[in-house]
């Protein structure tokens, strides 16, 4: 009888010896997962990426409304109409009024109103460039709206790095708890692990992150320093054209044509409505275009900060960590029950 009891106790002791290291191994693995999440947060520079993402989204939000896109298209159409009307109608008509050949009139404009000449020469390039840019922004609106809701509509993106860092610390502490109190630690691991799997799905984070990454990929070919520099230069040229046309060229033409400024405005309005309209609206249009370019310029550094980061991959990593933590917690619970 004593031998049987002794054998039973020996078998139980051997089981405990075998299971003890396994409990420690699962606890250390959980701690390692926590360290991994903290490390990913720091290595991926998420404490800089989060604010950069939020600032960029906030600044671009007004420019990506349907109203803003429609207004930008109208502004571009106005510039295109001016270029076409000036070249095909206004210049020939004025050259005839001034008794000049078209070539002489072009030389007259270039010599006396260089900003107007430069602006008219730039418009054939500027119009399609800005049209393409607005088309690109318009196509990104669904992706932008999805990315704008990371992590939720009411929570800013700046909470994401803190959430990931805090989750890593919490998981590390759960692993430490599993060393001291395997039952309590295992239960905590299961709860937190399941939450890390369920919460991102409930918040649609995988889909939002995929949309943000696609938005990032779509902007890479166009969102460059070259774009910002060229756009700013083009707007300077077009703005100078409008200003010189309004303050110098038209008054000079009124004098040469023996018209008062009001008579000239009436003449333009009756015969060249696109040019007359543009002269009235160009200051506001230039202000809007300059505002858009300013948004691109001020957020270029933000975009370059977040550009290398794959948000979908981070969400997948977080969910994988949750699955592993829950699995290790369940394994620990199963081992404790067997003992």
Tell me, what's the pLDDT at 1? 45
Q: In angstroms, rounded to a whole number, what is the distance separating the alpha carbons of residues 14 and 148?
A: 57
Distance of CA 70 to the CA centre of its chain: 20
Using only C-alpha atoms, the chain has a radius of gyration, in whole angstroms, of 34
Q: In angstroms, rounded to a whole number, what is the distance separating the alpha carbons of residues 151 and 208?
A: 8
Residues ≥6 apart with Cβ < 8 Å to 274: 78, 81, 82, 84, 85
Tell me, what's the pLDDT at 314? 95
Tell me, what's the pLDDT at 17? 37
Tell me, what's the pLDDT at 230? 94
Q: DSSP letter string over 74-112?
A: HHHHHHHHHHHHIIIIIHHHHHHHTT--HHHHHHHHHHH
Q: Give 61's DSSP letter.
A: G
Note every long-range contact of 20-26, with CB atoms under 8 Å and residues 24 or more positions apart, other chains counting.
Answer: 22/335, 23/178, 23/179, 23/182, 23/332, 23/335, 23/336, 24/179, 26/178, 26/328, 26/329, 26/331, 26/332, 26/335
User: Tell me: the pLDDT tens digits for 298-317?
Assistant: 999 999 999 999 999 999 99
Tell me, what's the pLDDT at 339? 61
Tell me, what's the pLDDT at 160? 95
Cβ pair 209, 311 in contact under 8 A: yes
Tell me, what's the pLDDT at 14? 40
- CB burial of residue 153 (10 Å; 0-12, 13-18, 19+): exposed
Q: Is 307 helix (H, G, I), strand (E, B) or coil?
A: coil
Cβ pair 297, 233 in contact under 8 A: no
Cβ pair 196, 167 in contact under 8 A: yes
Tell me, what's the pLDDT at 18? 41
Place of tokens 């599993």: 178
Cβ pair 136, 128 in contact under 8 A: no
Helix, strand, coil share of the chain (percent; to 5): 90, 0, 10
CA angle 172, 177, 182 (to 5 degrees): 125
Cβ pair 143, 212 in contact under 8 A: yes
Among 28, 58, 95, CA closest to 328: 28
Phi, psi of 307 (to 5 degrees): -55, -40
Q: Which residues, given as ranges, of the chain have pLDDT below 70?
A: 1-20, 338-339
The pTM of this model reads 0.84
């Amino acid at each position: 009888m004593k031998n049987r009891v002794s054998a039973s106790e020996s078998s139980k002791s051997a089981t405990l010896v075998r299971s003890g290291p396994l409990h420690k191994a699962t606890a250390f693995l959980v701690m390692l997962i926590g360290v991994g999440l903290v490390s990913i947060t720091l290595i991926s520079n998420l404490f800089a990426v989060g604010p950069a993402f939020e600032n960029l989204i906030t600044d671009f939000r007004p420019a990506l409304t349907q109203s803003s896109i429609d207004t930008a298209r109208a502004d571009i159409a106005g510039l295109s109409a001016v270029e076409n009307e000036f070249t095909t109608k206004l210049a020939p008509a004025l050259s005839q009024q001034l008794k000049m050949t078209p070539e002489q009139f072009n030389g007259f404009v270039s010599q006396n109103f260089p900003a107007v000449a430069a602006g008219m020469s730039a418009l054939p390039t500027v119009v399609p460039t800005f049209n393409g840019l607005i088309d690109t922004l318009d196509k990104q609106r669904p992706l932008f709206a999805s990315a704008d809701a990371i992590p939720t509509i009411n929570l800013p993106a700046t909470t994401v790095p803190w959430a990931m860092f805090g989750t890593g610390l919490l998981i590390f502490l759960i692993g430490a708890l599993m060393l001291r109190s395997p039952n309590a630690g295992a239960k905590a691991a299961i709860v937190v692990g399941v939450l890390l799997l369920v919460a991102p799905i409930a918040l649609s984070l995988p889909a939002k992150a995929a949309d943000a990454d696609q938005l990032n990929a779509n902007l890479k070919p166009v969102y460059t320093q070259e774009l910002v520099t060229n756009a700013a230069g083009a707007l300077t040229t077009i703005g100078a054209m409008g200003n010189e046309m309004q303050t110098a060229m038209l008054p000079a033409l009124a004098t040469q044509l023996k018209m008062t400024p009001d008579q000239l405005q009436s003449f333009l309005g009756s015969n060249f409505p696109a040019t007359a309209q543009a002269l009235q609206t160009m200051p506001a249009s230039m202000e809007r275009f300059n505002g858009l370019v300013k948004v691109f310029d001020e957020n270029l550094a933000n975009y370059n900060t977040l550009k290398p980061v794959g948000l979908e991959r981070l969400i997948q990593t977080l969910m994988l960590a949750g699955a592993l933590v829950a699995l290790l917690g369940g394994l620990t619970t199963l081992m404790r029950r067997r003992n």
